[in-house]
Amino acid sequence: MKIIRAKDYNDMSRKAANIISAQVILKPNSVLGLATGSSPIGIYEQLIKWYNKGDVNFGECTSFNLDEYRGLTADHDQSYHYFMHKNFFDAINIPAARINLPDGAQMDIEKECERYDKAIRAAGGIDLQLLGMGLNGHIGFNEPDESFSKGTHCVDLTESTIEANKRFFESADDVPRQAYTMGVQTIMLARKIIIIVSGENKAQILRDACFGPVTPMVPASILQLHTDVSVVADDAALSLCTEKELR
């Protein structure tokens, strides 16, 4: 793991956006794995600014999102389809035909998971995967479990994840209880991974993920075994890591 220290959320966002833009500039037809939630919004804002200046071009890129709530249609204002178009896709030139997300409206779990994995394979796999990390160490919606997941699957969301996401809905009762998510194995097959972490409330789980044992009870800990991972984290998130560990 390469740990990139940032001063704050904005600095973290800019540093992560630099890595993504470099990927696209060096390989214009990159397959990008993208994430949702509050953590990557600053990254998308920075990439849009650079796109508008003509510094980066997404016209040949393909994207695959990590996850989607099961039971929400693409036009639902809390779906990840809606989120990605509002916060990124509608402001850049990535072709609509190359945008991929799990279909939350598809209730046939086996059919949808098989479709999504097949699409990722057909695209040649993911060149760069962007991740956030949950308070319990989840990546995508891969929650703490007894084993690491493989391909795309449907998960029952934990109470802590529902609690963390309820701010986006009218109440916790409105948060979907299931989601489609890329599996840990799919994430690990990405050629490059960036994981972004911000805030003091994630300091302990970040230390556990980076320097603790590799265990499915901390899903992000598996990233220790990947050959090209950049952890971009602000000072608050790194506050429990020692200087020796950070070196």
Model confidence pLDDT, tens digit, residues 148-161? 999 999 999 888 87
Q: Judge whether 153 counts as a catalytic residue.
A: no
In sequence order, what are the residues at sequence separation of 6 or more whose Cβ sits closer than 8 angstroms to the Cβ of residue 107? 70, 71
Asked whether residue 29 carries a pLDDT value surpassing 90, the answer given is yes
Task: Please tell me the predicted confidence (pLDDT) of residue 173.
Answer: 86
Active site residue: 10, 18, 57, 136, which one? 136
Active site residue: 103, 112, 127, 143, which one? 143
Query: What is the phi/psi pair of residue 162, to 5°?
Result: -60, -45
Structural domains in the chain, CATH included, are 2-246 (3.40.50.1360)
- pLDDT tens track for 112-155: 999 999 999 999 999 999 999 999 999 999 999 999 999 999 99
Asked whether residue 245 carries a pLDDT value surpassing 90, the answer given is no
In sequence order, what are the residues at sequence separation of 6 or more whose Cβ sits closer than 8 angstroms to the Cβ of residue 41? 13, 87
Rounded mean pLDDT, 39-53:
98
Confidence class for position 94, pLDDT limits 50, 70, 90: very high
- pLDDT tens track for 51-82: 999 999 999 999 999 999 999 999 999 999 99
Q: Judge whether 143 counts as a catalytic residue.
A: yes
Q: Judge whether 228 counts as a catalytic residue.
A: no
Confidence class for position 172, pLDDT limits 50, 70, 90: confident
Q: Judge whether 138 counts as a catalytic residue.
A: yes
Task: Please tell me the predicted confidence (pLDDT) of residue 171.
Answer: 84
Asked whether residue 186 carries a pLDDT value surpassing 90, the answer given is yes
Rounded mean pLDDT, 7-24:
98
Q: Which residues pair with 127 in a beta bridge?
A: none
